[in-house]
Structure 1
Amino acid sequence: IGRNGFSLEKVEDVTTARLLDRIFETMYSEEPALGVPKTVLVPTEPESLGAIESWLSEIRGTAVHVRVPHRGDKRELHATVSHNAEQELKRHSMRRATDHDSRTRALTELQVALRLPQVPLRIECYDMAHLHGTDYVGSMVVLEDGLPSKKEYRRFKIKDVAGNDDYAAMREVLTRRLSAYVKERDMPVSERGTTPGRFAYAPQLLLVDGGKGQLSVAIDVVQSLGLADEIPVASLAKQFEQVFIPGLDTPVVLGRTSDALFMLQVIRDEAHRFANTFHRKLRGKRMKEGSLDGISGLGDGRRKRLLKELGGVPGVKSASLDQLRALSWLPESVAIAVFEHLRR
């Protein structure tokens, strides 16, 4: 049994099947020390399946089969290998993200490519998350000197947007965040506390997840608050990893394997993760508490007290009718209504 791993940079948009062709070419361009196995397991069939099997069979001297495992021990083996590969990729990404030289190169590349007035030592990235317009949230994640600064992360509940409107949600989040910065910046020194406020610092680069539409929103917000000369903005579109900045109709060219693009991808993916985690938390809480909606006589005040005293929705669901009746502040008719409602 042997193990041989390597990282393959995906420098263009190709299908998994075509990418597998290239992996086979890389791995078997020279006969490996352990030889070519008679069966090769893959996640999907390579584009040139027949040609690859013939080529490998010629190297081995006997028939070689390339298979996608669907059941049994081979399926389990493939799942284990895939898991190990994912873990190694995470370790590889973490090493690259935390390497000082890589971070320095990335920040310098970003300054030049995005035409920034200074090296972006503080980068903020924003993303939205929702489900059909419900539980709408926004996230702000921060890189300081190229590293995540989780104490600076912020979460926003969208307050003023009805339905599915990412542009309006992004506008609300950016306006709330940057308005707070302006307020703290302009506050007299005598009125400031001993510690900086939650939004006391401006980013040297404000990045939004999306394309030209999201960039236009960011531009409008910084201009409306008089911050256009102070806070540079950019957007990163996920489909083709294109970077857009004000004043250019075409995307900025960043090498597909460059440290600069990698850093932007790291913070964009982190903003996406942070927004989705918050969204799932709110949605889960709403769905649990929603099980007590529509009960006659159980208003917000009584519902909150009921949840608090009985340990949340699970405690209320498991309570007997006698336990509910024993709550002196809860009318008997409401106690009966709660009990019957949760057992329908």
Structure 2
Amino acid sequence: MADPSSYRPAPGSIPTDPGVYRFRDVHGRVIYVGKAKSLRSRLSSYFQDIAALHPRTASMVRTGASVEWTVVTNEVEALQLEYSWIKEFDPRFNVKYRDDKSYPYLAVTMGEQFPRAMVMRGAKRQGTRYFGPYAHAWAIRETLDLMLRVFPIRTCSAGVFKRAGQVGRPCLLGYIDKCSAPCVGRVDEDRHREIAEDFCDFMAGDTGRFVKRLTAQMKQAAAELEFEQAARLRDDIEAMTKALERSAVVFADATDADVFAIAEDGLEMAVQVFHVRGGRVRGQRGWVAEMDRETVPDLVEQLLMQVYGGESADGIPREILLPVLPPEPLAMAELLRSVRGAKVAVKIPQRGDKKALLDTVRRNAEQALARHKVARAGDLTARAQALDELADALGLDEAPLRIECFDVSHVQGTNVVASMVVFEDGLARKSEYRRFIVKGEQVDDTAAMREVLTRRFARYRIERTETEDGKAKKFAYPPNLLVVDGGRPQVDAAARVLEELGIVDIACVGLAKRLEEVWLPGSDFPVILPRGSEGLYLLQRVRDEAHRFAITFHRERRSKAMTTSALDGIPGLGAQRQKALRRHFGSVAKIRAATPEEIAVVPGFGSALAQAVWSHLQGSAAEPAVNLTTGEILDEEGPGDGPADLDPADVERSDTMVP
């Protein structure tokens, strides 16, 4: 790789005007295209301390061998030039949004002499109007089949159309009145084009005009006693209604809008867009892309340029609703206005139906990202590659087939808990997840991590030589790789625990969140795995799962700590004895009505403890249990066999996962 200082331009030679710049590698290929309000400020930022740059940006600067720029007059021209260069050079370091599948469109070839309606995929063609995208091709065919009753547009291929004209006989659709049969001259070119234009207007959202027109014709036919004609018109109206029902109504004011949402995890992002035309959702589309840029607004700008850069005026709606605005929203709106020929609003919805729809699209994006991660994790080849990459990068003798990851969760040092998750062969082993309650309060992350690891590996030293029913106990299996959520302090603490316990055959690393750096014990510098590598992706999944599991347990503990009971505060009456009392009597009210002798017969209770319980309940008869978070009075009349407070044992097993 080249030294960035070898091709850094002199600061005084870079203009302060807006413009577009290109980085080239040693072979002269364009590897990155960007734009800036001030070229001097932006380009100088690339040649500062390399360690402070985003990892992908640092890789791009090291790969580059030269940089050149072009000055423009304003941000709109910069956007246009940047997009044209990206399309021309296809730079490897620019964001590339990959469709999560090939979406079909309903296309009408208005550029042909006799327009044709058809299902079409791939690149859009000039002179063709598109509606969608649809999730499935069969959805287009069902919609088209319904609408051919009302708009009998041609759907046959060029060969069938030509052959029908030669033999003078239309196809089946022509005989059942689902095609106006221009091939045999039933309608002329102008009439067929009129049918095609009406069909396009209806699909674009102008539905009310056609429904009203057919309704008026139906009533007139009925008034003239033309009942067969009225019945056909009635069926046409029903077909229109069914076609409309297939599209959910989201805006009552017939708004045209595209609604974007983004879900990201630091390495990858999923984008979903709902196309709303005439107030109805006409299509949905999704992309997955690597997080190559430093900020989400930059990614949004690239997304809009790729989606609308090659669109015709018909493809750009009046409103574009986003979760985050691009860096120059006014310039983006002006660029889109110049393409569409009318005003385009680029904004973030704050309330009402548009905000609700944005939330729905966001949930779709989150689910799409989850599906993508699961599909990637389920790939056997990718998992093997991830384990091999980790072994190479961390200097391990063999691939880490068993990985354990620990994370600590608390709020300002209170209700401190930790989690342990286990991945074997790159997949989660949820039956071996564990949850820890850290003893004491006001414990910092490092001390909590030290305590938890000590407890876990002390159990390992004991159980590795023991068996239970002829099988090794759960903690008898050591990990090949120990991962802690954190940077150098956390990983050094973990290494000291292993050293104190005399364990030398377990590798230990820490994964820091900010830049996804991998820290090794005693190292002054982190290991930087490639951002798109399967190894880093696996480490991130393990870390995120440990974080999710820890925070779920912390919320449970915090919720229970906020709830008081009439049985709390009795010396010698812990969670298990409270549970035994509730199970024996059925409710706190029945315990309060019992005598000390009746309480004493409960297993685990003596006369002294029974007397203490009876005295406490008699003194607190007017004090019901209260949830301290909500202030709600808890119902203690119901059965008392629900889950008791967690017993602060050294290690608590959890086979139940919260997704």
* Same fold? TM cut 0.5: yes
User: Equivalent residues in 2 for 1:1-344 (5 A)?
Assistant: 1-14=282-295, 16-31=296-311, 35-159=315-439, 161-185=440-464, 187=465, 194-228=470-504, 230-289=505-564, 292-293=567-568, 298-301=570-573, 308-310=580-582, 316=588, 319=589, 323=590, 325-329=592-596, 333-342=615-624
Whether contact under 8 Å (2:567, 2:617) holds in the other structure is no
Structure 2 SS opposite 1:183: helix
TM-score, normalised to structure 2, is 0.47
- Against the structure 1 CA distance between its residues 192 and 17, is the aligned structure 2 distance closer, same or farther, given a 3 Å change threshold? closer
- Offset of 1:337 from its aligned partner? 2.3
- Offset of 1:292 from its aligned partner? 4.9
CA distances 1:200-224 after superposition (whole Å, capped 9, x unpaired):
1111110000000001101111112
- Offset of 1:324 from its aligned partner? 5.4
Whether contact under 8 Å (1:292, 1:338) holds in the other structure is no
- Offset of 1:335 from its aligned partner? 3.0
Whether contact under 8 Å (2:491, 2:510) holds in the other structure is yes
Q: Which has the higher contact order (CA 8 A, sep 6+)?
A: 1
Aligned residue identity for 1:221: V
- Against the structure 1 CA distance between its residues 339 and 168, is the aligned structure 2 distance closer, same or farther, given a 3 Å change threshold? same
Between the aligned partners of 1:233 and 1:343, the Cα distance in structure 2 is 46
- Against the structure 1 CA distance between its residues 62 and 149, is the aligned structure 2 distance closer, same or farther, given a 3 Å change threshold? same
Between the aligned partners of 1:80 and 1:325, the Cα distance in structure 2 is 50
Between the aligned partners of 1:133 and 1:153, the Cα distance in structure 2 is 23
- Against the structure 1 CA distance between its residues 27 and 204, is the aligned structure 2 distance closer, same or farther, given a 3 Å change threshold? same
Between the aligned partners of 1:86 and 1:96, the Cα distance in structure 2 is 15
Between the aligned partners of 2:385 and 2:483, the Cα distance in structure 1 is 19
- Segment drifting more, 324-333 vs 105-114: 324-333
Percent identical pairs in the alignment equals: 43
Aligned residue identity for 1:281: E
Aligned residue identity for 2:517: Q
Structure 2 SS opposite 1:264: helix
Between the aligned partners of 1:291 and 1:76, the Cα distance in structure 2 is 43
Aligned residue identity for 1:84: N
CA distances 1:238-286 after superposition (whole Å, capped 9, x unpaired):
1111111135321111111221111111110111111112222223233
Aligned residue identity for 1:27: V
Between the aligned partners of 1:37 and 1:205, the Cα distance in structure 2 is 52
Aligned residue identity for 2:350: H
Between the aligned partners of 1:122 and 1:306, the Cα distance in structure 2 is 39
Between the aligned partners of 2:358 and 2:583, the Cα distance in structure 1 is 44
- Offset of 1:42 from its aligned partner? 0.5
- Offset of 1:74 from its aligned partner? 1.4
Greater fraction helix:
1
Aligned residue identity for 1:327: A
Aligned residue identity for 1:122: R
- Against the structure 1 CA distance between its residues 305 and 108, is the aligned structure 2 distance closer, same or farther, given a 3 Å change threshold? closer
When the two structures are aligned, how many residues end up with a matched partner? 329
- Offset of 1:119 from its aligned partner? 0.3
Q: Which runs of 5+ in 1 are unaligned?
A: none
Whether contact under 8 Å (1:125, 1:140) holds in the other structure is yes
Structure 1 SS opposite 2:302: helix
Between the aligned partners of 2:327 and 2:566, the Cα distance in structure 1 is 50
Structure 2 SS opposite 1:334: helix
Whether contact under 8 Å (2:488, 2:519) holds in the other structure is yes
Between the aligned partners of 1:209 and 1:195, the Cα distance in structure 2 is 31
Alpha-carbon RMSD across the aligned residues, in angstroms, is 2.6
Structure 2 SS opposite 1:62: coil
Structure 2 SS opposite 1:340: coil
Which residue number in structure 1 is paired with residue 213 of structure 2?
none
